[in-house]
Amino acid sequence: MFTGLISDVGTLEARDGGVFTVRSSYDPSTILVGASIAFDGCCLTATTIDALDTGCRLMLDVSNETLSRTILGNWSVGQAINMERSLRAGDELGGHIVSGHVDGVADITDVSTDGNAIRITMKAPAELEGFIAEKGSVALNGTSLTVNNVNGCLFDVALIPHTCAVTTWGRAKTGDRVNIEVDVLARYVARQQDVRTAWSDGGPKS
């Protein structure tokens, strides 16, 4: 489980099929083999951890399913990656509950300035439209953000300078694709609505 608060920006150093090598500033003494870490919002397992003079090098095995359903399939060497360590009991929940299970990929359609913030408009997959609500939470490339406006599949978020400085969002541009994870609360509300609808229609059919 994660909160959507990015704690490091790593770099993809190498890729061999589904085996990825990422350099990070994390202290290797605090990471165990098998640890779960979110990379651009996708929960992956650290299979090898090499200590460096500063930080560490992490090796990850990425399945074909993950490659096909996230932006990871398009990663190339040199890629900057939002990273977050898994939540520990007692940690402050500063963002919102994020599982690290990517629901789909959104396309950035516009990047503009809005005062001292950057406003980013994107198009979500049609099947996720009903889970995105004005002033609701959404995780984009692992970052917990608040939805400003919604118009069908289009929605926008605003990023303050601090967020742009400590994540990859300062590099965002029109045409980029991002991992999207909808709010788990929205998912359960929608599920309950489906159940109520099924029962009002005479109950589940065998």
Distance of alpha carbon 62 from alpha carbon 21, whole angstroms: 11
Q: What is the pLDDT along the chain (206 residues), one digit of tens a residue?
A: 899 999 999 999 999 999 999 999 999 999 999 999 999 999 999 999 999 999 999 999 999 999 999 999 999 999 999 999 998 777 777 788 899 999 999 999 999 999 999 999 999 999 999 899 999 999 999 999 999 999 999 999 999 999 999 999 999 999 999 999 998 776 666 666 654 555 566 665 55
44 DSSP β-pair partners:
37
Structure tokens at 101: 């299970």
Q: Give the single-character DSSP code of 171.
A: G
| CATH architecture under which domain 104-191 falls | Beta Barrel (2.40)
Continuous segment of H or E residues that includes residue 43? strand 42-51
What fold, for 8-85? Answer: Elongation Factor Tu (Ef-tu); domain 3 (2.40.30)
- Among residues 176, 179, 195, 199, which one has the least CA distance to residue 187? 195
* The pLDDT of residue 203: 62
Provide CATH 2.40.30.20 ranges for the chain: 8-85, 104-191
Distance of alpha carbon 19 from alpha carbon 62, whole angstroms: 6
Angle at 156 between CA 150 and CA 157, to 5 degrees: 130
Distance of alpha carbon 70 from alpha carbon 85, whole angstroms: 19
Distance of alpha carbon 110 from alpha carbon 121, whole angstroms: 5
Continuous segment of H or E residues that includes residue 180? strand 177-182
In this prediction the pTM is: 0.90
Structure tokens at 174: 């029109």
Q: Are 108 and 173 in contact (CB under 8 A)?
A: yes
* The pLDDT of residue 183: 87
